[in-house]
Chain A
Amino acid sequence: MQDEPTPVELTKSVADFLRNDITPLISGHQAFKLRVAINILDLVTRQLTQEEGSDASEVERLRGLLGVDGSVTDLNRALAERIAKGEVDLATPGLAEHLWATTMDKLAVDQPNYASYKRELGR
C-alpha cells in the first residue's frame, strides 16, 4: 500500500498552483498552452476519481449483453466485433442503454462542458 496524499490530491495541488499562481504571470500562446495543461490535470483527476466505478458498471452491463466475462478492454473488443458482424444491433435489448450509459460516463471525464452532454444529462 502506497502512502498518502493520494494521486488525486497530488494532481489537484499541481492544477491549483498552475491555475492560481502561474496563470496571472503568463500571456499569449504560452497562456493558451497553460490552459490546456490545467485542463489535462483536471481530466486526470476526474478519471482517477470516476474510472473504477464506471468501469465496474460497464463490465457488469457488457457481461449481461455478451454472456461472457473478461476485462473492460476485452469485453469492448468483443462487443465491437459483434456489432461489426451484425450479430448485435440497436434492436438488441439493452444495447442502446449500454452505449448511452458508457458514453455519458466517458464525457463526464473527457468533456463535462460539452453542450450535447449537458443536454443529455438533463434528460
Chain B
Amino acid sequence: MIEAELSRSVARWCKGATGVTGAAKLSGGASQETWRFDVVHPDGPIGAILRRSPKGYGAAPTRAAGLAAEAQLMQLAYEAGVPSPRVMHVLTPDEGLGTGFIMQRVEGETIARKILRDDEFAAARPRLARQIGGVLAALHKLPLGKLPELRSRSATEEIGEFERDYRSLNWPKPVFELALRWLRDHDPGPSAERTLVHGDFRNGNLIIDADGICAVLDWELAHLGDPMEDLGWVCVNSWRFGEIDKPVGGFGTREELFAGYEAAGRKCDPSRVKFWEVMGTLRWGIMCGGMMQRFREGPDHSMERAMIGRRASETEIDLLRLLAPRGS
C-alpha cells in the first residue's frame, strides 16, 4: 500500500521515474519507521530509503532533533563532504506519507559485529579509528549559521538530565550513584567552543565497506554542545562489541582517533573525552533501564526489550573499570 503513495511521490520530484518496487520496512519504533525501496527509472533502479513518522503520531521525544532537522543536517553534511546519504526529497503533507524524508540508499554494512569480524573489512579496520577522527572533525566544522534549530546542552545540564532520568526509574544502583558523583566532581565546565554534536556517532550507526566509512547515519540526537562529546561516545565500551582493547568502536586506539581529528585541523582535549566516555557509559546504562520500564508499562512488551534491561549491568562493570580499576 505504501508503494502506491511512494510511486505518486517520486513521480513528482524524480524526473523519468515511473514508480517504485520492493518496499520493505527495515525498522519501526513507536514514532519512526525506516523503509527501503527502489525507484523504477528508465536508466535503471535507484536505491532509496524513507525515514518517516507515520500520520497520526505526535511530536518526537524531547531529545530528538526531529525529522526535518535531520534531513537538513544530512544534506549540509553531504554538501560539506562528510560521508552522508544525499537527501532526495522532504515529504510534504499532501503526499499522505506522514512527515519525514527520502534519501539515497548507500550500500555497505552497518552491523558492528560483521564489520569487526568479517574478512571483507579486514583491510579497512586498522584505518577506521583515524578515519573516524577525520569525519568527526569535518562534522564539527559545519558552520553554526547554517544549522537548523537544535537543543543546546552543557555538561552540567546533561548530568542533571541523566540524574532525573535515573531517579525516575526508582532503581537504586550504587554504581550509577558513584558515576553521578564522579561526573559532578569532574564536570569540565562550559566548553570553550560550541559546535554541532552528532549525539549518536558510534560503531553500528556507520555504513562501512571494504574501503572505510561510506555514510554517517542516525542524526536524530544531534544538538549543539561540546565537540568532545562525540569523541567520548564513540569510545564507550558498549560500542566495541567485544574488542575491548580497541576503544574506538573496537577498531583502534584513542591516539589514532585524536591524530585523525587533529590532522583535519581541530584540537582534542583528552580529559574532556574521558569525561564524556564515563557520561556515555552511564547514559547507555540508564537507557537500558528506560527499556525495562517501557517493557513493563507497554506498549512494547517484547522479549528483546526485556533483555536490554538486563544489560545495564554491563555498563556497571564498565563504569567500575573506568572509575575504580583493579590492579592487573
Contact = CB atoms under 8 A, between A and B. Distances in A.
Contact of B311 (A81, A90, A111, A120): A111
Q: B240, B242, B243 — which one has the most chain A CB atoms within 10 A of its CB?
A: B242
B304 A36 contact: yes
Interface stretch (A3-11, A15-23, A49-57, A102-110): A102-110
Contacts of B321: 116, 120
Contacts of A81: 172
Q: A40, A73, A110, A119 — which one has the most chain B CB atoms within 10 A of its CB?
A: A110
B244 A119 contact: yes
Interface in A73-99: 73, 76-77, 79-81, 83-84, 86, 89-90, 96, 99
Given A77-B172, A80-B173, A40 B303 contact: yes
Contacts of A120: 317, 321, 326
A100 B244 contact: no
Contact of A33 (B173, B304, B316): B304
Given A83-B177, A104-B317, A114-B317, 10 more contacts: A36-B307, A40-B307, A73-B172, A76-B174, A79-B172, A90-B324, A103-B313, A107-B313, A110-B310, A110-B314
A110 B307 CA distance: 9
A100 B326 contact: yes
Contacts of B311: 110-111
Interface size range of chain B in the complex = 20 to 34
Nearest to A122: B328
A40 B313 CA distance: 15
Contact of A86 (B181, B237, B307, B324): B181
A79 B240 CA distance: 31
A123 B328 contact: yes
B177 A84 contact: yes
Interface string B288-328: 00000000000000011011001101101110110110111
Given A76-B172, A100-B324, A103-B313, A83 B178 contact: yes
Interface string B39-57: 0000000000000000000
Nearest to B326: A123
Contact of A107 (B180, B307, B317): B317
Contacts of B316: 103, 106
Contacts of B69: none
A54 to B, nearest CB: 12
A123 B317 CA distance: 14
A18 to B, nearest CB: 12
B175 A116 contact: no
Contacts of B237: 116
Interface string A22-59: 00000000000100110110010000000000000000
A90 B178 contact: yes
B174 A79 contact: yes
A115 interface: yes
A119 B306 CA distance: 26
12 contacts: A33-B304, A83-B177, A99-B174, A100-B326, A106-B313, A110-B311, A115-B243, A116-B237, A116-B314, A116-B317, A120-B321, A123-B327
A103 B181 contact: no
Contact of A111 (B172, B243, B310, B320): B310
Contacts of A104: 317
B320 A103 contact: yes
Contact of B181 (A43, A83, A115): A83
B30 to A, nearest CB: 19
